[in-house]
Structure 1
Amino acid sequence: MKMRTMLVAGALLLGAMPVLAQEDVDCGNATTQADMNICANEEYEAADTELNTVYKQTVAAMRAKDAELGDISADYVGAEEALKKAQRAWIGYRDGQCELAGFEARGGSMEPMLVSGCLAQLTTARTEELKALLEPTEN
């Protein structure tokens, strides 16, 4: 029983090592592939955080638009649902496209960087698309 506990603890410690090492990476001067992988992932995580913030704002804006248009006609309501449908489809596209991007270095140490870089790029672009929905349109 003790051996099993030690193996589980060892596996958990090994799994935590990349997180511990991540704290020491200077992404402005990343030179090793491991550091570049960590930095690309950090860039994606930052882009994803911003996307989630903007998405919540956009959902609220579409909900307000539905309420406004619903006063005119129930047939005009559906902006919030259309946004959610588009976002679900976009997530599937993003994930598949970035998995494909990783095949350039499939199985190599560069693959995580390529995937994370793709995720960051597409996520940033989607955030800009969502921000455009928040801007008032001229009639």
Structure 2
Amino acid sequence: MKKITSNLRKLSGLTLLSVGLFATAQASAASACDNANTQADINKCTATELSTEDRKLNKSYSDLQRLLDASEKKQLKTAQLAWIDFRDKACKFSARGFSGGSAYPMASNGCLATYTKQRRVQLDDEIANINNR
């Protein structure tokens, strides 16, 4: 357990370093995985959390698309593809210290879930802005 805690602390430092003011992947993993006792359990929890956040993001993206005209939909798609590329590269960098280790899925998925949730909130804010016009 000390090794996992140590890895989580290391992950927290790496994430803060690489993503600045964004919430850490450790915090995301901890909220979803409070009862996980092994690295495998934590990896499974962070994978589940990522899957959940991804589904929510896809719903928000679809909801936003329905409010846009054709030109805006193209802009959103371009922005979203660029964001996905950025997220994936940022998380690969953030998790690099765990590469090849059993904690890599935790580090990677925790980071991806954090960014995915943040993007969903951004899209939801855009939906609210459009609806409040």
Q: Same fold, TM exceeding 0.5? A: yes
Residue number among 49, 53, 59 corresponding to 1:53 in the alignment:
59
5+ residue gaps, structure 1, are 1-25, 67-77
Counterpart secondary structure, 1:29: coil
**Cα displacement string for residues 21-76 of structure 1 (whole angstroms, at most 9, x for unaligned residues):** xxxxx94410100000000000000000000011000111113xx6xxxxxxxxxx
Structure with greater contact order relative to length (CA < 8 Å, sep ≥ 6): 2
Larger Rg: 1
- Displacement of 1:79: 1.4
- Alignment: residue pair count: 101
- Displacement of 1:100: 1.2
Residue number among 70, 73, 76 corresponding to 1:80 in the alignment:
73
Question: Bigger CA drift: 94-103 or 35-44?
Answer: 94-103
| 1:118-129 map, 5 Å | 118-129=111-122
Distance 1:89 1:136 in 2: 22
Amino acid at match of 2:50: Y
**Is 1:132 the counterpart of 2:125 in the alignment?**
yes
Distance 2:129 2:107 in 1: 36
**Is 1:93 the counterpart of 2:96 in the alignment?**
no
Distance 1:80 1:124 in 2: 21
| 1:1-139 map, 5 Å | 27-63=33-69, 78-136=71-129
**Cα displacement string for residues 99-121 of structure 1 (whole angstroms, at most 9, x for unaligned residues):** 11221211111111000000100
Amino acid at match of 2:45: C
Amino acid at match of 2:90: Q
Distance 1:27 1:129 in 2: 25
- TM-score w.r.t. the length of structure 1 is 0.67
Amino acid at match of 1:60: R
